[in-house]
Amino acid sequence: MGLPQLCPMTSQELIKEEKPLTSKEGALRRSYFKIQRARSRAAFILLVLPAILWFVGLMLWPLANMFYLSFFRWDGLLDPKIFVSLGNYTRMFNDEHFWHGVANTAIYLAVDMPLVLLPGFVLGFFLSQRPPGSRLLRVIFFAPSMLSVAAVSMMFVGIYLPDGILNTLLHQVGLAQLEHVWLADADTALGAVIAIDIWGSIGFYSILFYASLSNISQELFEAARLDGANLWDLVWRIAFPLSKDFFGVAMVLNFVWIMYGSAQNVLILTKGGPGDHSLTLGYYLYNQAFMGYRLGYSQAIAVFAFTIGLLGILLIRRITRRSEV
Amino acid sequence: MAQLKQVNLYQFARRARLDTPLWAISSYGIALLYALMIIIPLYFLVVSAFKDNISIFIDPLGLPAKISFQNFTRAFEQGGLLSALTISIIITVCAEVLTLALAFPAAYAVARIRTRMAPVVEAIFALGFLIPALAILMPVFLTAIRLDLLYNPLMLVIFYPATLLSLTVLLLSSQLREVPKEMEESAVMDGATHLDLIRFVFLPMARPAVLTSVLLNFLSLWNEYLFALVLLNANNKTIQIAVTMLKGERTVDYGLIAAGVIISMIPIYLVFLFSQEKIMQGMFAGAVKE
């Protein structure tokens, strides 16, 4: 009888099967399924292969190279690569610029994360209640997230200039003593860069939280209100615990952005200056790789930043994972 | 009038489920304050683009006395924004197409072909969320040299899709999983191959997810700065690089910068205008899945 048909059985057909199979028919069917399985495995590999090759070749392989290069002294593309084992790492731990970078990144994290995520959450809750005008507010809050790092940084150049809008406004309201050369002043450079980040990020996270909080049933809030809960309770006693998991996701996103993404703001606006006052870890990595041409050493910094990043992500997930799950 | 306002506020508060007017006012106050903080710098940017440098800093928030497009023409002439825009458009379009061409078959295979390899492949792509672009910047730079593609926009067209694959495969495969089995079965009965299935069943069914990923990828591609800075040179810079180069070493011509920034933003806002909700949802979906 041969193979009855060349297309796979649908589930219904298998169920519809009435009479028991003879052993010959059973063997035929088994070999048929074996061929099918081999075929679908081949199809799977063919379909997945291009994407996997791309991904491995241009993401995982470079990542492996980051580790590999960190064991070499390689000061410039034309210089020879010299294996120094952990030499770059000992050098790194004795490098004061590196420690300035670590300290500034720690400040960046400590200031940026709470100032972005807490207001972001409150505004996200506000939006999720869909008060009048919230459509427009959503558009406004999200607007900075569409802008590139380059566009935002260049926009703030005019705000932070010595005769820029910030100083002009301070002067006009009689607070001239607060005027600074914001990006060139040792006391304000790092803060000025962080402020740009906070400016746009609050809106971005408020939209994320809005989307996540919209999934919470309003009846829950109604019930709580009947029990006498006020707005503060609704936000921090009900909405917050319920979205703790998602809060963890937002924390991870924000953390990762600060660790690596913020290097671009620093690069465009201050180049780590004045001195090392706005030098972050991410920027120092870029600086050593492309301005100092210490290729091997820069990758040791990259490995350090990558490791801290992974540990940070794991820690945040551990803290915020819902206990009952 | 005052009476009316009060009643209105009360209704606002009720409708907004914001308890008492006090809560309503303070929550609106905070929201409006932040909205102002966003709008003022953007407004300053826009009016500055139409002013000369003296009036920008004498009267930063005033409307321009007479609207001048001089800054825009100068940005195109001095900043080479036209060629930068062209290069950005070419890179963005090519990388978008390549990303989808790579991601869609993979997403289809992961979502619809049952093998033991599927979860492994998914796990590999999930690793992408943990790899920061900054960490692989130097190795990718070295790869570009080895491929003899340094300072060639083709390198970005080849490289960018790799960074976008994780999210794109994820978004597409989660939608492809939801296509009912019956649709696939009836096509298979008619003798459809996997490629037929992709073309005639799954691509049309996954249109919303395709659109979402195209939008999100457009944002990242158009706005990308770091790799464009390192892998290209002054002759073929993208719009993002061109904008930062409008700032001189010593002097700042803010009118020129503002005009350049606005030009660089126009494509983004045009897209945003028509698909804002879609982008927001996409970002949320992406965040949840990470």
Give the CATH number of domain A87-320; options: 2.40.37.10, 3.90.1300.10, 1.10.3720.10, 3.40.50.720. Answer: 1.10.3720.10
pLDDT tens for each residue of B189-231: 887 788 888 888 888 888 888 988 999 999 999 999 999 999 9
Closest CA to B197 of B103, B69, B109, B78: B109
Tell me whether A192 touches chain B (CB under 8 Å).
no
* Inter-chain touch A259–B23, beta carbons under 8 Å: no
Token pair, residue A291, equals 């301005």
Tell me, yes or no, whether B42 and B91 share the same domain. Answer: no
Tell me, yes or no, whether B102 and B215 share the same domain. Answer: yes
Q: What is the pLDDT of residue A111?
A: 95
Tell me, yes or no, whether B161 and B268 share the same domain. Answer: yes
Select from B103, B138, B276 the Cβ nearest to the Cβ of A299: B138
Task: Please state, rounded to an integer, the average pLDDT across all residues of chain B.
Answer: 85
Select from A11, A66, A155 the Cβ nearest to the Cβ of B135: A66
How many angstroms separate the CA atoms of A283 and B159, rounded? 22
Assess contact for B261 and B182: CB atoms under 8 A. Answer: no
Tell me, yes or no, whether B89 and B8 share the same domain. Answer: no
pLDDT tens for each residue of A19-36: 566 677 777 777 777 777
* Inter-chain touch B225–A299, beta carbons under 8 Å: no
Indicate the pTM of the whole model: 0.85
Question: Is the pLDDT at A37 greater than 90, yes or no?
Answer: no
Tell me, yes or no, whether B85 and B193 share the same domain. Answer: yes
Closest CA to A120 of A5, A210, A219: A210
**C-alpha distance from B31 to closest chain A C-alpha (Å):** 7
Task: Please state, rounded to an integer, the average pLDDT across all residues of chain A.
Answer: 85
* Inter-chain touch A158–B264, beta carbons under 8 Å: no
Which residues is A73 bridged to in the sheet?
A82
Q: Which residue of B has its CA nearest to A58?
A: B162
Domain harbouring B224, CATH code: 1.10.3720.10
Question: Is the pLDDT at A5 greater than 90, yes or no?
Answer: no
- Domain locations along chain A: 3-69, 87-320
pLDDT tens for each residue of A197-236: 999 999 999 999 998 888 887 778 777 777 777 777 778 8
Q: What is the pLDDT of residue A153?
A: 93
- Structural domain including B181 reads 70-283
Select from B117, B130, B265 the Cβ nearest to the Cβ of A151: B265
Between chain A and chain B, the number of residue pairs with CB atoms below 8 A apart is 292
Q: What is the pLDDT of residue B271?
A: 85
**C-alpha distance from B70 to closest chain A C-alpha (Å):** 18
Band of residue B3 on the pLDDT scale cut at 50, 70, 90? very low
Which residues in chain B have their CB less than 8 angstroms from residue A291's CB?
none
Tell me, yes or no, whether B79 and B164 share the same domain. Answer: yes
Has residue B58 been placed in a domain? no
- Compute the radius of gyration of chain A from its Cα atoms: 28
* Inter-chain touch A144–B222, beta carbons under 8 Å: no
Tell me, yes or no, whether B242 and B183 share the same domain. Answer: yes
Q: What is the pLDDT of residue A212?
A: 87
DSSP helix/strand/coil, B112: helix
Sign of CA dihedral A165, A167, A173, A178: positive
Question: Is the pLDDT at A12 greater than 60, yes or no?
Answer: no
pLDDT tens for each residue of B97-151: 999 999 999 999 998 888 888 899 999 998 888 899 999 999 999 999 999 999 9
Question: Is the pLDDT at A13 greater than 70, yes or no?
Answer: no
Tell me, yes or no, whether B29 and B80 share the same domain. Answer: no
What count of other Cβ atoms lies within 10 Å of the Cβ of residue A32?
A: 16
Q: What is the pLDDT of residue B24?
A: 72
| Residues above pLDDT 70, as percent of chain B | 92
pLDDT tens for each residue of B236-279: 899 999 999 988 777 788 889 999 999 999 998 888 877 777 77
Tell me, yes or no, whether B76 and B19 share the same domain. Answer: no
Q: What is the pLDDT of residue B55?
A: 77
Tell me whether A173 touches chain B (CB under 8 Å).
no
pLDDT tens for each residue of B60-94: 777 777 778 888 988 888 888 999 999 999 999 99
Q: Provide the b/e sequence for B19-32 (b: ≥16 CB within 10 Å).
A: beeebbeebbeebe
**C-alpha distance from A20 to closest chain B C-alpha (Å):** 24
Question: Is the pLDDT at A289 greater than 60, yes or no?
Answer: yes
Count of structural domains, chain B = 2
User: Predicted ipTM?
Assistant: 0.85
Tell me, yes or no, whether B76 and B43 share the same domain. Answer: no
Tell me, yes or no, whether B13 and B115 share the same domain. Answer: no
Which H or E element spans position A82?
strand A82-83
Query: Which of B36, B47, B136 is most worth mutating to test chain A (most A CB atoms within 10 A of its CB)?
Result: B136
Tell me whether A199 touches chain B (CB under 8 Å).
yes
